Amino acid sequence: DFSWKLPDHPKLPKGKTIAVVVLDGWGEANANEYNCIHIAETPTMDSLKKGAPEHWRLVRAHGKAVGLPTEDDMGNSEVGHNALGAGRIFAQGAKLVDLALESGKIFDGEGFNYIKESFETGTLHLIGLLSDGGVHSRLDQVQLLLKGASERGVKRVRLHILTDGRDVLDGSSVAFVETLENDLAKLREKGVDAQIASGGGRMNVTMDRYENDWSVVKRGWDAQVLGEAPYKFKSALEAVKTLRAEPKANDQYLPPFVIVDESGKSVGPIVDGDAVVTFNFRADRMTMLAKALEYENFDKFDRVRFPKIRYAGMLEYDGELKLPRKYLVSPPEIERTSGEYLVKNGVRTFACSETVKFGHVTFFWNGNRSGYFDEKLEEYVEIPSDSGITFNEKPIMKAVEIAEKAREAILSGKFDQIRVNLPNGDMVGHTGDIEATVVACKAADKAVKLILDAIEQVGGIYVVTADHGNAEDMVKRDKSGKPQLKDGQVQILTSHTLEPVPIAIGGPGLAPGVRFRNDVPTGGLANVAATVMNLHGFEAPSDYETTLIEVVDK
């Protein structure tokens, strides 16, 4: 019989105040000039590392350890926080879509059958991130979707692309557009009217998250739905090539553009009777557009027109909100997360980050579930992020504010677990600005110090870890590990990495005999939940990945 009640840990006491700190984008790599964590002054994290092997170790944060298709898949915040919070490894969106496409099941499902009803008389619009980054979407999946739709009678297709440069190298957008254009040309030969209709850089157009800046979504809406944008081109290839030639142009931030015909009319606005698929499998940066496409009542910006469409997401993006109503592939069912267990066992929980990562320590942590498990026992605090800037302009971000909120929560005595995400290493790392990323790492380290000081004051315990690598390696490397050159210049890596991440435990409340076991060498992020449950005085559920700690007699 199922019960939420967790068994008592045989050796560890309850009632300790535990800070769980996630440094976003903070991996472990060789010390060199592209390792911003190494270059930065990080005395706090350095001192934690001295606790190895008993109180500091590395854990895996990429590939199969976090439910991604292959060991070549870098980690990301969604799968990382899912694993940290859920304590088990679930096949993630990327993998589930692969399987559904491989078996062809995607084309028999309710979602596809729904959009198919528009194939005869309407246009199929595909909107999403165009790259092979594998974090939010993958080009090969779009290609298979196009093929499947054409085999099933689609007559007219329009693509609305978002250029990447964040999960892949900046500048790679041109090649992705070329690949897609080739595919579309082949479809046209087969008699399908297929074209790219609009585009823009992901950080400037459509892919905002956690309602940080609705104007981003509006710029996308205007181009995709209304067919209006400040830039008009005859083809998408011409668009990205021209826009990239501007000084300081960057794939992530290309302005919105539409493709127009001979008479200057946009080739693909979304109109009544059309079908729309948002082909990102990851939720955080598609939820806002999904709401705009689906909600009858909507006041975040003026949609001007609200076309009657058949809309499906690649995945369901929010199980709680049932958003969107139709989707092509069912998301992983991440239930019985550690957050839910702990709250149901009376652990009072506080979670905090700034807007750009707020959903990571709440929504992703709780298995892609929004809201509280028990309002009486939980408090989630969001600190507004700066918007309208790239974070290399303000690399300190809200690190101090987050640490101060955590500190207050720790000292208040009102909470047993205080969980935060410090975004700096990741958000600034994604800009590719090495100098700024060094400043960012230093800021995150200082924030950790503030939180550890508060833990010291109350006799608590800390668990400091990260969700995936980013700031520790800022250069694209060849197979032998040497920086890769292009036109005589090293290629800056804006994306995450395949590196492992540190985990450190300590604090005055840590029982003397607690140390990392040495028999879980391949431990990954999913092993952290059981570890934290133990430190709260509970045994983890038996199907959780094993704990990283043991208690020896001292």
For residue 398, the 8-state DSSP code is: T
Q: Which of 219, 285, 398, 476 binds ligand 3PG (CB under 6 A)?
A: 285
Smaller CB distance to Co ion: residue 28 or 426?
426
The 3-state DSSP class for residue 362 equals helix
In sequence order, what are the beta bridge partners of 477? 483
Q: How far is the CB of 289 from Co ion (least distance, A)?
A: 20
Q: How far is the CB of 428 from ligand 3PG (least distance, A)?
A: 11
424, interface contact from Co ion, ligand 3PG, none, CB < 5-8 Å by kind: none
Q: How far apart are CA 37 and CA 28, in angstroms?
A: 9
**How many CA atoms, within 13 angstroms, populate the side-chain half-sphere of residue 176?**
27
Smaller CB distance to Co ion: residue 69 or 429?
429
Smaller CB distance to ligand 3PG: residue 354 or 416?
354
Smaller CB distance to ligand 3PG: residue 122 or 423?
423
Say whether residue 135 binds ligand 3PG (CB under 6 A): yes
Active site residue 77: yes
For the chain, percent helix, then strand, then coil, each to nearest 5?
35, 20, 50
Among the options 3, 47, 77, 137, which is catalytic? 77
Say whether residue 166 binds ligand 3PG (CB under 6 A): yes
Q: How far apart are CA 17 and CA 389, in angstroms?
A: 36
Q: Tokens 């009102």 sit at which residue? A: 414
Smaller CB distance to Co ion: residue 80 or 122?
80
348: left (phi over 0), alpha (psi -120 to 50) or beta: beta
Q: How far apart are CA 167 and CA 164, in angstroms?
A: 7
Q: Tokens 């979602």 sit at which residue? A: 111
Q: How far is the CB of 420 from ligand 3PG (least distance, A)?
A: 15
Q: Which residue is nearest to Co ion, using beta carbons?
A: 426
User: Which range, of 33-41, 76-84, 113-121, 298-306, touches ligand 3PG by CB under 6 A?
Assistant: 76-84
Say whether residue 76 binds ligand 3PG (CB under 6 A): yes
465 near 504, Cβ under 8 Å? yes
User: Which range, of 236-244, 295-303, 405-413, 422-430, touches Co ion by CB under 5 A?
Assistant: 422-430
Q: How far is the CB of 136 from ligand 3PG (least distance, A)?
A: 6
User: Which range, of 63-71, 384-392, 419-427, 522-530, touches Co ion by CB under 5 A?
Assistant: 419-427
- Tell how far CA 241 is from the center of its chain: 28
Smaller CB distance to Co ion: residue 274 or 426?
426
- In this structure, the strands spanning 275-278 and 310-315 are parallel
Q: How far is the CB of 154 from ligand 3PG (least distance, A)?
A: 29
How many helices (H) and strands (E) are present in the chain, helices listed first?
16, 19
Q: How far is the CB of 468 from ligand 3PG (least distance, A)?
A: 7
For residue 124, the 8-state DSSP code is: E
Say whether residue 426 binds Co ion (CB under 5 A): yes
Q: Please give the sequence-ordered ranges of beta strands (E in DSSP) within 356-422, or none if there are none.
A: 378-383, 417-422
The 3-state DSSP class for residue 183 equals helix
- Tell how far CA 335 is from the center of its chain: 19
Number of residues that bind Co ion (CB under 5 A): 1
387 near 330, Cβ under 8 Å? no
Q: How far is the CB of 549 from ligand 3PG (least distance, A)?
A: 27
Pick out residues in 411-450 that bind ligand 3PG (CB under 6 A): 426, 430
Active site residues: 77
Residues in contact with Co ion by the rule CB under 5 A: 426
Residues in contact with ligand 3PG by the rule CB under 6 A: 24-25, 76-78, 135-136, 166-167, 285, 426, 430
